[in-house]
Amino acid sequence: MPEGPSIVILKQAAKPFEGRTIERVEGNTRLDKDRLVGRRIVAVRSWGKHFLLELDGLALRVHFLLFGTYRINERKDMPARLSLGFSGGDELNFYTSSLQFIEAPLDSVYDWHADVMSDQWDPALARKRLRARPDLLACDALLDQDVFAGVGNIIKNEVLFRIRVHPLSTMGALPAPVLRSLVEQARQYAFEFLEWKKQFVLKQHWQAHRQTTCPRCQIPLHHAKLGKTNRRSDFCERCQVRYGDAGVAVVPVDVPVKKRAAQPAAAARKRAPLKAAATASPSAATKKSAAKPRSSAPSPEAPPASRSRKRAA
């Protein structure tokens, strides 16, 4: 599943379609395709892992699930879930994706303060929501789309490694400066992810995700499926501090990992034009509470756990 930065890349690539009218609609979607014909694209937007086409009187949400992809002004050799055609032969094609019509205004459906890549991102609100759930594990907190919309497993693993926090730490046990750092780095890493993805060097910057050795301690990293989300965590038991005691044991699992990639050269590597988006020391002892763009999207991670909605005052 693509994480938020990959959806932002798609949003940027699809911007030239704003103001254009849909002339043709095809695909094997169960949605009423006739509802899209003749509608103008008012805005191309994103929220977390959701790609959004805001139309006249309607919106279309695209989620890429585990294996979804897209093509702009070109096609794959497989049936499209949805193909939108425009004048001049331009088209937007989505494959193996979840599609949904949204009848209400997007601003009444989505909480933009929760999107880590939104201009309206509110770190104070994120901290407040985390403090209200003291038993929430760090590995689950970063994947909660109501708090960190757009954060996926890559950002989760890399942020926790960067701030030296064990994935089984609890929110209530994190010292205030550490909680602040977790929230800040979720957004910071998302924007670094975006730039590295555009430069085709994202994997070269991974320190923990799918790696085998801790670059700080030079010891093997641990790999385990943790938390209620049961997603794989890659972490170091020595330099990532476990704050609090959630009473959860680490049961290592056999997961495919990759050897550490060579560090990127100082000069940016020249690559082919962008064509993909949807796929960033303390002791180990437990501490107690203290136009015609052409592009395609890589495969995404799992259906959205939840869609954040505006809360009543």
Nearest to 184 by CA among 230, 244, 121: 121
For the chain, what are the domain ranges?
Answer: 4-109, 113-235
The pLDDT, as a whole number, for residue 259 is 54
Report d(CA 291, CA 40) in Å as an integer.
16
pTM of the model: 0.79
| Cβ 158 vs Cβ 235: under 8 Å | no
C-alpha angle with apex 28: 93 to 1, nearest 5 degrees?
55
Q: What one-letter code names the amino acid at 28?
A: N
The pLDDT, as a whole number, for residue 71 is 96
The pLDDT, as a whole number, for residue 255 is 56
Q: Which helix (H) or strand (E) holds 53?
A: strand 50-55
* CATH annotation of 113-235: 1.10.8.50
Comparing 35 with 276, the larger pLDDT belongs to 35
pLDDT tens-digit readout, 101-127: 999 999 999 999 999 999 999 999 999
pLDDT of 88 > 90? The answer is yes
* CATH annotation of 4-109: 3.20.190.10
pLDDT of 245 > 70? The answer is yes
